[in-house]
Amino acid sequence: MAATLTLLKFSVLPPKPIHTHTHTHIHTHTHSEVLPVLSNPTKRRLHVSSDESSSSSYNPQKLLNQTIRHMKSAPLPLAALALPFFLDPKDAFAVGGEFGILEGRTFALVHPIVMGGLFVYTLWAGYLGWQWRRVRTIQNEINELKKQVKPVAVTEPPTPSQPPTPSPLDAKIQQLTEERKELIKGSYRDKHFNAGSILLGFGVFEAVGGGVNTWFRTGKLFPGPHLFAGTAITVLWAAAAALVPSMQKGSETARNLHIALNVFNVLLFVWQIPTGIDIVFKVFEFTQWP
């Protein structure tokens, strides 16, 4: 509205006429044209001589008609100029498209999809770690069972048709030995190490990326359970990875702490899922494709 009134004011005011005569006479004859001065509150009139008015092409009524005709042909641009004055001032500081597709629904859905995959991958990495632990602990079980086996005195050599019957301990040792051989073939140690490295890299990257995406869409972060749980999960990933050198040196304390941190990590991940689903619903509610 302010832009419209300003444009109307500037359009009505006539341009200053260019005088071609060297002598200009200002007097009060009755045959002179009268021009009101808008800025003079006393409504004084300026009388211009008839010889000057005849030399110039100034016509105030014609200029006024042209201005009104131009105003009728440009309502949309004037409305666009006046629109910012009616908007909430807070909206001027909010994110409003300057980041392009980074504010859209496509980019916002990357975080929940990746984190859902990382949750499944976390369970897979935990399974691989448990299998590798089984390779280490099964040998200890075999050694303990071997200590319980007592030598048996042989009175008569066994005949080929009647082989000696193994004792329950021997059968258990044989079973564990075969199981350990199969576990070693699985290369669970290397698989677990690689899975942990991938989980750490992608997990930290996407945890930070989720917060950045929220800022792209809203211009701020929202402290709450989802944000705090995600931060704790990221810290636990880093802490568990920091124990690997001590684990490689055979520290059983580091191994137990590594397992405890990852178990707590999985529990936080599960607890975080409902809040993540709520955020996905809000993304579909307040964003558009792409």
- Sign of the CA dihedral with 188 first, then 193, 194, and 195 last: positive
- Sign of the CA dihedral with 201 first, then 203, 207, and 212 last: positive
Instruction: Please say if the pLDDT value at position 7 is more than 50.
Output: no
Q: What is the rounded CA–CA span in Å between residue 48 and residue 32?
A: 6
Give residue 133's Cα distance to chain centre: 37
Better-predicted residue by pLDDT, 92 or 203: 203
Give every CB contact of residue 265 below 8 A, 6+ residues apart in sequence: 122, 233, 236, 237, 240
Do the Cβ atoms of 223 and 230 come closer than 8 Å? no
pTM of the model: 0.59
- Average per-residue pLDDT in the chain? 74
Q: What is the rounded CA–CA span in Å between residue 116 and residue 120?
A: 7
Residue pLDDT, tens place only, 150-189? 765 555 555 556 666 777 888 888 999 999 999 999 999 9
Residue pLDDT, tens place only, 23-78? 434 343 434 334 444 444 444 443 434 444 444 455 656 655 665 565 555 444 44
* Token pair belonging to 75: 């309502």
The reported pLDDT for the residue numbered 87 is 42
Question: Helices 75-82 and 2-12 meet at what angle, rounded to 10?
Answer: 130
The reported pLDDT for the residue numbered 96 is 61
Q: What percent of the chain has pLDDT over 70?
A: 62
Secondary structure letter of residue 45 according to DSSP:
E
Nearest to 8 by CA among 73, 64, 84, 79: 64
Residue pLDDT, tens place only, 226-242? 999 999 999 999 999 99
Give residue 62's Cα distance to chain centre: 59
| pLDDT mean over 186-204 | 94
Instruction: Please say if the pLDDT value at position 10 is more than 60.
Output: no
Residue pLDDT, tens place only, 128-157? 999 999 998 998 888 888 888 776 555 555
Q: Specify the amino acid at residue 126.
A: G
